[in-house]
């Protein structure tokens, strides 16, 4: 193990890690918002719309993320939709994980007692007020642990962005390893960096769970 080379390579690896974290944060934000919208549509939309959304999400869940990345980055340009590698990666990650977060939200919504819905109707609360002030605060608190798990899962899936040339952590490690024939050092450093960030994320999630999650 060439420790001096690891020290020399660390700035480039950290630059790749910044892309990895950026893609994770942006993709996760998209997954949280889109998943919530999907869950609300399935809960409150007419049956035909709800069923259509359900099957779309099933299709996304049943196809590999790598295939979806290739579709967004390599296929959409033929339809006139050209995206940068990072943008394509964020969209693919966000939509893919939205299919999972939607199910998490749905379980949280189903866990809200029916009496809460009935009380909101009895008070003649508008639909928006019912959702934002009564239902969602209770539902989201119940699913914080599961949502947090998907954040870490998405972070660990970001190396797939290597396939669409996003200069993330694994991309930089592979480049440096190929240029210097030192794959042991670069790939080992990648593993350590992933462990560090994942552990810190898990600690943050546990804090949020203890502070906000329902007992």
User: Domain segments of the chain: what residues?
Assistant: 3-212
Find where tokens 């709800």 sit.
Answer: 50
Residues in the chain: 215
HEC readout, 63-74: CCHHHHHHHHHH
Give start and end residues of each alpha helix (H) in 79-143: 85-110, 114-122, 127-129, 136-142
Question: How is residue 196 written in tokens?
Answer: 């560090």
What CATH number should be reported for the domain whose range is 3-212? 1.10.3720.10
Does the pTM of the predicted model rise above 0.75?
Answer: yes
* Cα(53)–Cα(110) distance, integer angstroms: 18
Question: What are the pLDDT tens digits along the chain (215 aa)?
Answer: 788 888 999 999 999 999 999 999 999 999 999 999 999 898 878 889 999 999 999 999 999 999 999 999 999 999 999 999 999 999 999 999 999 999 999 888 888 888 887 888 888 778 788 888 888 888 888 888 899 999 999 999 999 999 999 989 999 999 998 888 889 999 999 999 999 999 999 999 888 888 776 54
Find where tokens 């339809």 sit.
Answer: 79
How far separated are the first and last CA of the chain, in Å rounded? 47
């Amino acid at each position: 193990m060439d420790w001096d080379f690891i020290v020399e390579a660390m700035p480039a690896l950290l630059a790749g890690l910044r892309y990895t974290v950026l893609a994770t944060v942006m993709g996760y934000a998209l997954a949280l918002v889109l998943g919530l919208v999907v869950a609300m549509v399935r809960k409150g939309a007419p049956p035909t719309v709800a069923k259509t959304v359900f099957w779309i999400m099933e299709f996304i869940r049943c196809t590999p993320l790598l295939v979806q990345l290739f579709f967004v980055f390599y296929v959409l340009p033929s339809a006139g939709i050209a995206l940068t590698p990072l943008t394509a990666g964020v969209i693919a990650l966000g939509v893919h994980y939205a299919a999972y977060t939607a199910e998490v939200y749905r379980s949280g919504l189903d866990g809200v007692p029916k009496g809460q819905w009935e009380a909101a109707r009895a008070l003649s609360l508008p639909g928006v007020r019912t959702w934002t002030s009564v239902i969602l605060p209770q539902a989201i608190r119940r699913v914080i642990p599961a949502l947090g798990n998907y954040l870490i899962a998405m972070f660990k899936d970001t190396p797939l962005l290597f396939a669409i040339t996003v200069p993330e952590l694994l991309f930089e490690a592979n480049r440096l390893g190929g240029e210097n024939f030192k794959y042991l050092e670069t790939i080992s450093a990648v593993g350590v960096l992933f462990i560090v960030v994942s552990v810190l994320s898990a600690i943050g999630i546990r804090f949020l769970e203890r502070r906000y999650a329902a007992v």
